[in-house]
Amino acid sequence: MGRKKIIIGISGHIFSDQRMKRIASALVEMGYDVEILYRHYFKYKSIETRHSEQAAYSTHAYKIPFKSGIGMYLLLNHRYFWSQLLKPADVYYAVDSDTLPAFTLLSIIKRKPLIYDAHEYFTEVPELKSRWKKSIWDWITKWGVNHSQVRYTVAEGLAKELSNRYGKPFGVVRNVPVLAQNTTIIKQFERPCIIYQGALNEGRQLELLIDAMRQLAECDCYLIGEGDLSVSLRARAKDLKNVYFKGLMSPEELRIITPSCFAGFNLLEAKNSLSYYYSLSNKYFDYMHAGVPSISSHLPEYELLNTATSAGVCIDDTVDAMVSTIRLWLNNRQIYEKLRENAILASKSYNWGNEKENLKTLIQI
């Protein structure tokens, strides 16, 4: 009997989706033949389409003329559906609600199992501000969830919320890195550096970070990534000599830079976004694995993890709280070094080698 084939659909570019690269590789280890369908468009960087770096899974890019909006989602699902209708597959795997239309239809028509992987609380993201858009995506999500055989998401709190909302159980597969061979603490930059890695988007409290840097002249700040606020944030920081916009970096580049930083920034404006409220970002674990204490908002997942690991702290979303925390760490090295040690220790538990066992338990298809 041959290997079962899983077709995975994502709406973004595979370049930036470390979670799906890890999951696809794990599925191959489990004996599946895996293909990832993705959109050949990345907003902030020109990327050459090529086969994933010596990966055991295959990829296929689709060029969509629309860059965003309903036209993009309709055409993407149209392409995914018709391209796969006559091709053999044993399992369909939808990543987030925006690929559910095509993959739910395929699973129904071809009578094959459907996996739903919710990277976020899709219907509660800040971008879906209008009621009618939320209603449409909520209906699509409920339809897909009802037809799915396996469902999971990135955090315990979000799993409970999605289970309550859609009436089906959700498992948890956290977005954690592979444990590096060398987990010793690395020498830091000469000037303490606060790092933010991720999208430069609304709700990430990056304006607060820049304003805090005005009072932290003895520190530097690296913002690594691009986003909808790329231009406005650069304008806000134009008079500052200690704020550096590094643009996009590959995971390999980040693994070199992040361990040399002093603190990791992870504040979120969650009062208008349930998606942010229930989030558990991959950057939190990236900081942990780099031995860099993180500064997070008072949100459920981060409070639980920091209580369990003491690898970082949760603070109020204010400039004063941010500045006070950094100054405390600069002035009390014993407290700070203990946080660094705790982060490295926690990475031995919160890593992909352990987390993929949850994936193996969930996927018995």
Long-range contacts of 168-171 (CB under 8 A, 24+ apart): 170/118, 171/358, 171/361, 171/362
What is the band of 364 on the pLDDT scale with cuts at 50, 70, 90? confident
* Cβ within 8 Å of residue 238, ≥6 positions away: none
Q: What are the pLDDT digits (tens) for 184-221?
A: 667 788 999 999 999 999 999 999 999 999 999 999 99
Domain that holds residue 279: 193-347
Integer-rounded Cα radius of gyration of the chain: 21
pLDDT score, position 51: 45
Q: Quickly state the pLDDT bin for 49 (edges 50, 70, 90).
A: very low
Q: What percent of the chain has pLDDT over 90?
A: 81
Same domain as 240, residue 150: no
- The reply to whether 155 and 211 lie within a common domain is no
Q: Do 203 and 272 fall within a single domain?
A: yes
- Tens-place pLDDT, residues 57-111: 999 999 988 888 888 999 999 999 999 999 999 999 999 999 999 999 999 999 9
Q: Is residue 180 part of a domain?
A: no
Q: What is the pTM of this model?
A: 0.92
Q: What is the pLDDT of residue 44?
A: 60
Residue 186 is assigned to a structural domain of this protein: no
| 183 inside domain | no
Same domain, 235 and 88: no
3-state secondary structure labels for all residues of the chain = CCCCEEEEECCCCHHHCHHHHHHHHHHHHCCCEEEEEEECCCCCCCCCCCCCCCCCCEEEEECCCCCCHHHHHHHHHHHHHHHHCCCCCCEEEEECHHHHHHHHHHHHHCCCCEEEEECCCHHHCCCCCCHHHHHHHHHHHHHHHHHCCEEEECCHHHHHHHHHHHCCCCEECCCCCCCCCCCCCCCCCCCCEEEEECCCCCCCCHHHHHHHHCCCCCCEEEEECCCCCHHHHHHHCCCCCCEEEEECCCHHHHHHHHHHCCEEEECCCCCCCHHHHCCCCHHHHHHHHCCCCEEEECCHHHHHHHHHHCCEEEECCCHHHHHHHHHHHHHCHHHHHHHHHHHHHHHCCCCHHHHHHHHHHHCCC
- For residue 282, is it within any domain? yes
Same domain, 235 and 108: no
One domain for residues 141 and 202: no
Provide the β-strand partners of residue 193: 220
Does one domain contain both 11 and 85?
yes
Residue 188 in domain: no
Task: Please give the single-letter amino acid code of residue 131.
Answer: R
Q: Are residues 236 and 170 in the same domain?
A: no
In a domain, 202, yes or no: yes
pLDDT exceeds 70 at position 48: no
pLDDT for 316-347, tens place per residue? 999 999 999 999 999 999 999 999 999 999 99
In a domain, 185, yes or no: no
pLDDT of residue 246: 96
Share of the chain above pLDDT 70, in %: 95
Under the banding of pLDDT at 50, 70 and 90, the label for residue 36 is: very high
Q: What is the pLDDT of residue 13?
A: 86
Query: Are residues 358 and 329 part of one domain?
Result: no
Pairing of β 312-315 and β 294-297 = parallel
> Closest Cα to residue 256, out of 310, 326, 192, 182?
182
pLDDT at residue 52 above 50? Answer: no
Pair 315, 336 in one domain: yes
249 has pLDDT over 50: yes
pLDDT at residue 47, as a whole number: 53
In a domain, 182, yes or no: no
Structure tokens at 140: 């699509």
> What is the model's pLDDT at position 271?
85
* Same domain as 170, residue 221: no
At 143-169, the pLDDT tens digits run 999 999 999 999 999 999 999 999 999
| Number of separate domains in the chain | 2
Binned at pLDDT 50, 70 and 90, residue 129 comes out as confident
Question: Which CATH number fits the domain that encloses residue 224?
Answer: 3.40.50.2000
Task: Please check whether residues 87 and 53 belong to one and the same domain.
Answer: yes
